[in-house]
Structure 1
Amino acid sequence: MKYLLLSLHFLFCVKLYEAKVVITADTTGPFVHKRPSLDTYNQQRQHVIEKQERRFLGADLMLTNDEKIVNSHIMKLKRAEMDEGFKDSFQFIPARHIFEKLDQLNSSKLFQLIRRIPKGAVLHAHDTAIGSTDLLINATYRPNLWQNGRFESNTPPTFVFSKTKPDGKGWELVSKVRNEMTAEIYDEKLRDLFGLYTKDPINTYKSINVVWDKFQQLFTTIGPIINYEPVWRQYYYDSLKEFYDDQVNYLELRGVLPEVYDLTGKIYSPEEIVQIYVEETKRFIHNYPDFIGAKFVYAPPRFGDDDVFRGFIKILKSLHEKFPKFVAGFDLVGQEDTGRALLEFVPELLKLPESIQFFFHSGETNWYGMKTDANLIDAILLGTKRIGHGFALIKHPLLLEEIKQRQICVEINPISNQVLKLVEDYRNHPAALFFADDYPVVVSSDDPSFWRATPLSHDFYMAFVGIASAQHDLRMLKQLAINSIQFSAMDKVDKARAMRKWESLWNGTMQTLASDISKGNLK
């Protein structure tokens, strides 16, 4: 019996081997085991290249004559930068930290062209870090602003708006301190205080925890300034204008809803804060009718205990009931590695009605198989509509299949990922896979104020030049803009209206750019 089983096993292995040989011999694809002729080899190689390119993000788009002219020019600029970088990668902008190359980037002809292209929407940005540092500095010229502490201390000064001198020692009017130091020196110190920018980012931020500590401290530092009700209104409105000027026509912003206050001592409720957003958005659209609009994602921190979290849920339900069109859904924010895992909140989240959508930060980590990494699983199982960052997704083949099948959009934030120490060189960013294989993906800017970036153009540049293939062209940028509308929280009717507005802007811009290029006005 033993020998019979051995014989059968041997015959099975022989048949299996023969089957494999037959299968290999019959393969008609480009990767065959026999060495072909040179002509056949070249045909197979071209077939592979074309097959890959058909999977690129935006590969299905057909360009108009105007777009072809623009595409030819934009690819000439892209190839020039990439060819120079290929010769000396140390000089290649996306290979270095953005703080080291910011001046060079701002003077790039390709970047200046990208600034003119309509980009659709930003779907991932945090409300108190969307406006430029200049907006915050302007706010410090308002009367009744006090500071405690000077810039020379290791502890940053604290600020507050108040009719009278706040209790305690050390408080001085900002206007007095500014006059003593001169406005130019004082404002430059504020500029350094209100962001992460440094000329030596590699040595300044030696680990992810170091940069995250400074990052989170920024919100504490600027909070009493930006949370002053008149500033809160003006900062949001002026931020919309900066997005609009950067060719962004729709915004979905995340916010923790901090304690907004005024000089009477009033603390505004979450509902009152959102009402301010609604009013200022309407005012902006009235003044700029081609702006599509904005929505809000309530996104409190992921660090509170269960009682705190239940308080967040109570606020969420109230906002959802009072602002069903404006409040898009829910998220949790903060450093994932040090925060509570999404799994801990699942019991309460499952109780929420289907009408409340989820847009979870998840996978914003370099850890593989740890609790942070597992947030991706729970975000998808909870039915998240989009994934914030998703940096760790490429380590999970099954989850990659799920986000494609379910069309869960991944919000890529290139500059944020570098500044917050997930990746050093954009050429190594995992989003290259998403661009190469037409995943549901958008590019956003996260907290552009803190890294002296534009609302979206800097991130578009890094995605286009640093992460994407050298062969990716204007179609990719166009598809990213289209995706930003398709994967927004707008309903079908509003998406159709938004798409018509964006297409009008896009076509008009392409016509203008094509004309400028043809006349030699763009070099």
Structure 2
Amino acid sequence: MEATSTTAVGLENQNEAPDHSHPAVQQFLQSREALILQEKERRSDYAFRQSLSPTAIHACKIVSALRFEEQRTVWAHENEMFPGMMFNIAKPQMESTKLWRIVEKMPKGTLLHCHLGAMVDLEWVFNEAFSTPGMCISAKAPLVTKESRQSVSVQFKQCSTAICEGPLIWSSQYIAGTWVPVALAANTFPDTGKRGFVDWMKELCSITQAESLQHHLGLDDVWRKIQGGFGILGPIIYYEPIMRAFLWKFFETLVEDRVKWVEIRAVFATPFTRQGADSPTEDLTAVLGVINEVVENFKAANDFWGAVSFGLR
């Protein structure tokens, strides 16, 4: 677009800044608007937008106005909030906005590239473990102190030979590697009982607020934490009764978020244990059969299109 001569629109004194009504400013604004319209016509969604109903057009205007208003108020710098800030810090504020509530209720269609192990509601899964017969915990050393509970490796598994009497993992007399019912271990968690146990597990299995800001430790440090969490959660969610309940719960949350179809990524290197068995099955396709059964049953009971599973090994 050719530049417009200021003299052509009557800007004789170039030492004075023109106001908004000056012909030079008006011509610039008109040229700018025309350029924006040309750009919009080349967008991939232009034809779709042209076909919107009056109601949809009105809805778009409402959402745009709301977005602008919340940029000016919710994400104002004086509130120490701004668009593009750290997600973990912004999340509580984001979920309190009107724009979030609108997006939450909008149809989503599909969820792609969904890593199954990362979809776990930690509060739910550990409470499910407490109520699942045979689910046990062991540690490589007694977990007597808070420091030991942060550094000593723990494991979960289905075990029919768990020790229900004798030293628990919180005792200095605990024998490393002994399997203890997880419900018993949780109820006897030092000082705070089951609530404290769940909080401890959530801290071990997720990136905490403080850890999310420790960028100086590098990517490998974060990845080690994530891998450690997967190591704890894997034997729990890959135990058949919990896997079935977990998948159903997961699909329910998708439907609540207006998601109709999901592409699941699962790590089949994680051993899958059949209900009541103490050892994982050697059939690597067994977990696929369970996933398929739950998907079909859920589809029959809900407005849900389905899921496809991709295995990583």
TM-score range, shorter chain: 0.7 to 0.9
- 1:119, 1:57 → 2: CA distance? 19
2:236 to 199, 216, 225: 225
Paired AA for residue 310 in structure 2:
V
Listed one character per residue, the Cα deviations across residues 107-154 of structure 1 (whole Å, up to 9, x for unaligned) are 122111211111110011112222322332232211212212346231
Normalised by the length of structure 2, the TM-score is 0.76
Matched-pair contact (CA < 8 Å) for 1:78–1:110: yes
Distance in 1 between the 2:292 and 2:204 partners? 30
Conserved 8 A contact 1:74-1:110: yes
Residues 435-490 of structure 1: per-residue CA shift (max 9 Å, x gap):
xxxxxxxxxxxxxxxxxxxxxxxxxxxxxxxxxxxxxxxxxxxxxxxxxxxxxxxx
Aligned partner of 2:18 in structure 1 is none
Shift of 1:33: 5.5
* Structure 1 position 41 matched with structure 2 position 28: yes
Q: Does 1:162 align with 2:159?
A: yes
> 2:154 is aligned with what amino acid?
P
SS in 2 for 1:78: helix
Name the CA distance, whole Å, in 2 between partners of 1:191 and 1:139. 14
Which residue of 106, 120, 126 maps to 1:117?
Answer: 106
Q: Distance in 2 between matches of 1:215 and 1:272?
A: 26
Who is 2:137 aligned against? 147
1:160/1:224 contact within 8 Å kept: yes
Rounded to whole Å, the distance in 2 between the matches of 1:211 and 1:205 is 11
Distance 1:155 1:127 in 2: 26
Q: Which residue of 2 aligns with 1:280?
A: 294
1:51 to 2:38 alignment: yes
State whether residues 99 and 199 of structure 1, in contact with CA within 8 Å, keep that contact through their aligned partners in structure 2.
no
* Structure with greater Cα Rg: 2
Find the aligned partners of 1:107 and 1:86 in 2 and give their Cα distance. Answer: 12
CA RMSD of aligned residues (A): 2.6
Alignment: residue pair count: 269
| Aligned counterparts of 1:203 and 1:282: Cα–Cα separation in 2 | 43
Match of 1:188 among 185, 199, 209: 199
Letter paired with 2:187: N
Aligned-residue identity in percent: 19
Q: Within 2, Cα distance between the matches of 1:233 and 1:251?
A: 16
Paired residues of 1:145 and 1:161 also in contact (CA < 8 A): yes
Structure 2 distance, partners of 1:83, 1:57, is: 29
AA matched with 1:123? L
How far apart, in 1, do the equivalents of 2:78 and 2:86 lie? Answer: 13
CA spacing shift, 1:179–1:87, aligned 2, 3 Å: closer
Unaligned residue ranges in structure 2 (runs of 5+): 10-23, 164-174
CA distance in 1, matches of 2:178, 2:74: 51
TM-score by length of 1: 0.47
Work out the CA distance in 1 between the residues paired with 2:63 and 2:153: 44
What secondary structure, in the 3-state scheme, does the structure 1 residue paired with 2:180 have? strand
Matches within 5 A, 1:396-415: none
Partner of 1:73: 62
> 5 Å matches for 1:202-351?
202-203=213-214, 206-257=217-268, 258-262=270-274, 263-264=276-277, 265-288=279-302, 290-300=303-313
CA contact (8 A) 1:137 1:191 kept: no
Query: Residue type matched to 2:156 in 1?
Result: F
Query: How many angstroms does 1:287 deviate by?
Result: 0.5
* Large movers: runs of 4+ above 6 Å: none
1:88 corresponding residue in structure 2: 77
Separation (CA, whole Å) in 2 of partners of 1:55 and 1:195: 43
Confirm or deny: 8 A CA contact 1:128 1:219 kept in the other structure.
yes
1:89 and 1:95 in contact (8 A); partners too: no
Instruction: Determine which structure has greater relative contact order: mean sequence separation of CA pairs < 8 Å that are 6+ residues apart, divided by chain length.
Output: 1
Asked if structure 2 preserves the Cα contact closer than 8 Å seen for 1:100 and 1:200, the reply is no
SS at match of 2:151: coil
Deviations 1:241-285 (A, max 9, x none): 111111101111112222201332351523222111111110000
Query: Following the alignment from structure 1 to structure 2, what is the Cα–Cα distance between the partners of residues 57 and 190?
Result: 46
